Structure 1
């Protein structure tokens, strides 16, 4: 932009150097109103040809329902993976269709080298941190440090760093 302004006769803008976030994986995360996660997974498998790779459930919730609550199911379509989660509320559901107080939605889960740096960079660029940076928890497990931000356009993003892999060098990182 600064170069273009100079070429068009305008004054050159001073642009601060940008520190990039190193992303090692990106998983779109579909948030489905509980208890419809199982049906959504079956649909993606039957209709789209998705393959379920793994699933994390809350067995404690099984007493209240016929089946466990789905924290996360990782599905694969070709070389692309995405997550399906169940939610009972507006929490973590991003923006979407309101259905009886629940917003169907999606957000993006990025595996990053450094959660703290990623959140700092996003907030400096106009995003809002949603809660504090946490370690573990129901969805992410004890081996991960994570945070959620909402970008200036209303999209929710999760930044996740596996604790045991923090020092690992990714094969082909993508910087954003």
Structure 2
């Protein structure tokens, strides 16, 4: 019998998970992790297999942003964009150089939904779709705006 050493938890919210953590369901988790490594420079931290050639749980980072990922589990209603016919969620990650980031991602197979463009909110931004159906916004802050400025620039573009 194997025993595991348990330690007392002093902080119930781990530092690396202070905010919400998107949990992506995909139709091929191994391929998705390989794509995220190549296209987005993802650092895969954990990869837990399940029966067959599937992944039960994986964790990766793009910069400081944390994501979790798994293969679909239809029995638990964990469905991928391929299964549901699209995604109702857009993921947003700030990166230091959105233009270089987008070039690498596109070269690796990401589809451009909206090209790199300056946005009314002061960010240079691109929208990409990965080969697994997830929508990603990558952005670099160019100009900081307070709430009044954001409302004015939004009104100017007729949002």
Superposition TM-score, scaled by structure 1 size: 0.35
| Higher normalized strand content (fraction of residues) | 1
| Higher normalized helix content (fraction of residues) | 2
